[in-house]
């Protein structure tokens, strides 16, 4: 007889039940602490055989339960929240939901649903996933902070944006944090500004470069017309956001190095970077979001994981327009989207069958819209990556082009 442990996970605790067939053997609230998990482990060890553990993915709240299962070598099924909702409501017309009811329902339906246990990946894939998420969070924070800084500079010293019109650099941010208002510049001398820059910048700068920056700063200050005085709180905000942006850029740079160094431990990293348009950082981010693609038997399963499989709706005479599902990994989709964009931008560097496919879609008798063509290329890129990893082969343009029967090279 099959034994099932089902948990309805919430913050800091779970409602757990143990079933043998349709009979509930035990139930109770388990705290996500050593004491709580010890109680659950004792109940599991009292069973004549190892049970199947099933629970719903709830972000960071379900991670302790996953760690408990992995440390104790328990096979577990991690349910997608949407999948769990459909399975728990399909046998009833009422949408009652309680922690206790959900746990019992998951256990009672487990045998009939034939749920697939989660394939536990190596720790390095989880490390890369966490690093990738951290890197993307810092990147979003850089964008927000730069926008705040831009808004402040328009009031206090808009000319300073000339120091980083193309790319943010630490020299410019140091200048902005030290001299957020033109009056502060005009009260100083080129020598004093130069010495202050040499002392305060977080990266090495030559004395000649520091003097040139000082002279440029004075020239800008002489022609500036600020909207607020130097005593305004906007000057304080400007210095704050400039210093915060410096910290974020240094953190982003450190995370980038850590991501690449960790990804180099994996064989697929050396395969992905052979694809034109995918560098070491893109490869590390892709591995972080996709994980070990060997766990997907077909490319279609990988597509569904990312969320670019087709959603189709037809009822009677009505047939809806096809769309991608968007039920998978949104961060993975974003990285894939920018990878394809980068391939198109760098198409002159090396031949790429994904870029060829993009232009084929754009030149059909009915040309595809740009985003539709890019998503189709994301699908083709995933198939290519899946094949390369499963067969452990590097990218070969001639082979990949020949394996695309619908592709006519241009």
Q: What is the pLDDT of residues 272-313, one digit of tens each?
A: 999 999 999 999 999 999 999 999 999 999 998 998 877 766
The answer for residues whose C-beta is within 8 angstroms of residue 233's C-beta and 6 or more apart is none
Q: Which of 77, 101, 120 is the last residue of a domain?
A: 120
**DSSP calls for 303-363:** HHHHT-SEE--EETTEEPPPEE---S-HHHHHHHHHHHHHHHHTTTTS--HHHHHHHHHHT
Percent of the chain with pLDDT over 90: 64
Burial 66-87 (b: 16+ CB within 10 A, else e): bebbeeeebebbbbeeeebeeb
Please provide the distance, in angstroms rounded to a whole number, between the alpha carbons at the two ends of the chain.
61
The answer on 327 and 248 residing in a single domain is no
Tokens coding 409: 């090279």
User: Token digits for 290?
Assistant: 């996709």
**Cβ pair 11, 1 in contact under 8 A:** no
Residue 409 included in any domain: no
Percentage of the chain beyond pLDDT 70 is 90
User: Is 116 part of a structural domain of the chain?
Assistant: yes
Same domain, 205 and 323: no
The answer on 278 and 232 residing in a single domain is: no
User: Of 261, 284, 304, at which residue does a domain stop?
Assistant: 261
Task: Decide if 315 is inside a domain.
Answer: yes
How far, in Å, CA of 167 to CA of 146, rounded?
Answer: 11
Q: What is the pTM of this model?
A: 0.85
Is the domain of 139 the same as that of 245?
yes
CATH code for the domain of 203:
1.10.287
Better-predicted residue by pLDDT, 209 or 84 = 209
Among the candidates 120, 138, 162, a domain finishes at 120
Q: What CATH number is given to the structural domain containing 93? A: 3.30.420.10
* Secondary structure letter of residue 51 according to DSSP: P
pLDDT band for 80, please (50, 70, 90 cuts). Answer: confident
- Residues 172, 53 share a domain: no
Q: Which domain covers residue 232, as residue numbers?
A: 126-261
Which pLDDT value is given to residue 409? 34
Residue 364 in any domain: the answer is yes
For residue 406, pLDDT beyond 60: no
Map residue 4 onto helix, strand or coil: strand
For residue 181, pLDDT beyond 90: yes
Tokens of 360: 């084929």
Give per-residue pLDDT as tens, 368-390. 999 999 999 999 999 999 999 99
């Amino acid at each position: 007889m099959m034994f099932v442990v089902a948990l309805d996970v919430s913050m800091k605790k779970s409602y757990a039940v143990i079933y043998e067939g349709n009979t509930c053997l035990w139930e109770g609230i388990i705290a996500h602490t050593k004491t709580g998990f010890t109680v659950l482990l004792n109940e599991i060890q009292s069973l004549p055989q190892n049970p199947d553990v099933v629970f719903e993915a709830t972000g960071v709240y379900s991670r302790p339960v996953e760690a408990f299962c992995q440390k104790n070598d328990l096979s577990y099924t991690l349910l997608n929240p949407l999948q769990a909702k459909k399975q728990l409501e399909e046998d009833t017309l009422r949408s009652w939901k309680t922690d206790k009811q959900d746990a019992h329902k998951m256990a009672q339906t487990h045998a009939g649903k034939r749920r697939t246990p989660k394939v536990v990946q190596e720790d390095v894939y989880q490390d890369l996933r966490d690093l990738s998420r951290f890197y993307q969070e810092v990147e979003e924070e850089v964008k927000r902070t730069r926008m705040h800084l831009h808004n402040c500079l328009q009031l206090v010293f808009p000319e300073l944006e000339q120091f980083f019109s193309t790319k943010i650099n630490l020299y410019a941010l140091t200048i902005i944090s030290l001299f957020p208002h033109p009056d502060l510049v005009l009260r100083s001398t080129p020598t004093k500004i130069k010495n202050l820059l040499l002392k305060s910048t977080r990266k090495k700068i030559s004395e000649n470069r520091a003097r040139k920056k000082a002279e440029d700063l004075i020239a800008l200050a002489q022609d500036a017309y600020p909207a607020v005085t130097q005593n305004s709180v906007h000057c304080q905000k400007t210095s704050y956001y400039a210093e915060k942006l410096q910290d974020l850029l240094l953190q982003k740079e450190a995370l980038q190095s850590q991501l690449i160094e960790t990804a180099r431990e994996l064989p697929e990293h050396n395969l992905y970077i052979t694809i034109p348009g995918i560098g070491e950082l893109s490869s590390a981010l892709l591995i972080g979001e996709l994980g070990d693609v060997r766990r997907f038997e077909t490319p279609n399963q990988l597509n569904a994981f990312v969320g670019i499989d087709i959603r189709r709706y037809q009822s009677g005479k009505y047939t809806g327009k096809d769309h991608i599902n968007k039920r998978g990994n949104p961060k993975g989709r974003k990285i894939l989207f920018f990878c394809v964009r980068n391939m198109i931008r760098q198409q002159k560097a090396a031949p790429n069958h994904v870029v060829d496919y993009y232009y084929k879609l754009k030149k059909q008798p009915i040309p595809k819209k740009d985003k539709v063509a890019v998503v189709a290329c994301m699908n083709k890129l995933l198939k290519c990556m899946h094949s390369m990893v499963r067969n452990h082969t590097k990218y070969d343009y001639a082979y990949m082009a020949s394996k695309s029967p619908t592709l006519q090279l241009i």
